[in-house]
């Protein structure tokens, strides 16, 4: 029975990893699969942070060179006035990432507990509505003119709107990658610029979530983390990390092929399925 339970957590981790990258809502699909697999995870926020950490490790690995350049350029620009012109681009890009993460951080701090409490009784309903919104946004974006080419630089204005889109995606069922990348594309950015910015801005907000969780555990503000369940968490973490890597390899080709509308159709179907499960 313990092996079966670990396999269920592994499946949940794989689901989260795949759907974290694909624009179909990782948190929404995790909730649906939790119901289908009959996995009682009452520590929802803790579990989501753990599987998100799996995705985080993968993104840090993928963007390690870019992250190193941004950190180096940001620090040199601040502390070395003689070389500011050389590293101005890295400094500005980093500031845009910081600005884009602020809305999600504020919303998370203010509404995290309320969202988690509401999800205990209405998880599938929230997921169904969230997926419906995701489907609508994706369908709208695909109705635009072909977006295979566009701006290669995210503007200050764009970063604010992308950040607001990420804050909305804290609601399960609303895809973070779908909302952020769609917003960037709607603003006229190229696919590479939109996806790179969306995935890089995921890194600091995920780090912040982990730090907040650890603080609450140490301060004994939450009892949701169970050491007895740590081996299952490990399987979920591993599944999320591996699945995120393979999904990332697919996402750019999918966007470039113009098949984003299929994700919209899928989210419509998944929304209906979640709502039916809720009614039943």
Pull the structure tokens for residue 83: 């070389």
SS3 label, residue 145: coil
Between 221 and 115, the more confident residue is 115
Continuous segment of H or E residues that includes residue 77: helix 64-79
The pLDDT assigned to 64 comes to 95
- Distance between CA atoms of 186 and 181, rounded to whole angstroms? 8
Question: Minimal CA–CA distance to 166: which of 197, 126, 141?
Answer: 197
Q: How confident is the model at residue 134 (pLDDT cuts 50, 70, 90)?
A: very high
Model pTM score = 0.86
Contact predicate 270/15, CB 8 Å: no
Question: Minimal CA–CA distance to 100: which of 178, 180, 156, 163?
Answer: 163
SS3 label, residue 225: coil
The pLDDT assigned to 43 comes to 53
* pLDDT exceeds 90 at position 150: no
pLDDT in tens, 25-80: 988 998 899 889 887 665 555 677 788 889 999 999 999 999 999 999 999 999 98
The pLDDT assigned to 2 comes to 75
Between 251 and 276, the more confident residue is 276
Bridge partners, 189 (sequence order):
151
Q: Flag the least confident range among 4-8, 21-25, 112-116.
A: 112-116
């Amino acid at each position: 029975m313990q092996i079966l339970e670990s396999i269920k957590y592994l499946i949940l981790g794989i689901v989260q990893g795949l759907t974290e990258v694909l624009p179909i809502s990782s948190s929404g699909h995790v909730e649906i699969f939790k119901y289908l697999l009959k996995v009682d995870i009452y520590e929802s926020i803790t579990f989501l942070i753990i599987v998100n950490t799996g995705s985080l490790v993968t993104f840090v690995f993928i963007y390690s060179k870019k992250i190193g350049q941004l950190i180096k350029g940001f620090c040199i620009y601040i502390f070395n006035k003689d070389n500011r012109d050389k590293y101005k681009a890295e400094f500005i890009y980093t500031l845009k990432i910081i600005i884009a993460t602020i809305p999600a951080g504020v919303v998370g701090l203010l509404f995290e507990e309320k969202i988690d409490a509401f999800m205990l009784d209405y998880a599938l309903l929230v997921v169904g509505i969230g997926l419906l919104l995701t489907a609508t946004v994706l369908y709208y974006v695909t109705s635009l003119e072909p977006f295979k080419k566009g701006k290669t630089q995210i503007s200050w204005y764009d970063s604010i709107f992308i950040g607001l889109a990420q804050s909305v995606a804290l609601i399960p069922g609303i895809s973070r990658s779908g909302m952020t990348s769609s917003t960037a594309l709607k603003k006229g950015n190229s696919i590479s610029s939109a996806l790179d910015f969306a995935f890089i801005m995921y890194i600091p907000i995920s780090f912040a979530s982990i730090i907040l969780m650890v603080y609450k555990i140490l301060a004994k503000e939450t009892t949701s983390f169970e050491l007895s369940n740590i081996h299952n968490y490990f399987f979920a973490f591993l599944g999320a990390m591996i699945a995120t890597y393979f999904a990332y390899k697919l996402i750019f080709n999918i966007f470039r092929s113009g098949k984003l509308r299929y994700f919209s159709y899928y989210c419509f179907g998944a929304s209906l399925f979640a709502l039916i499960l809720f009614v039943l």
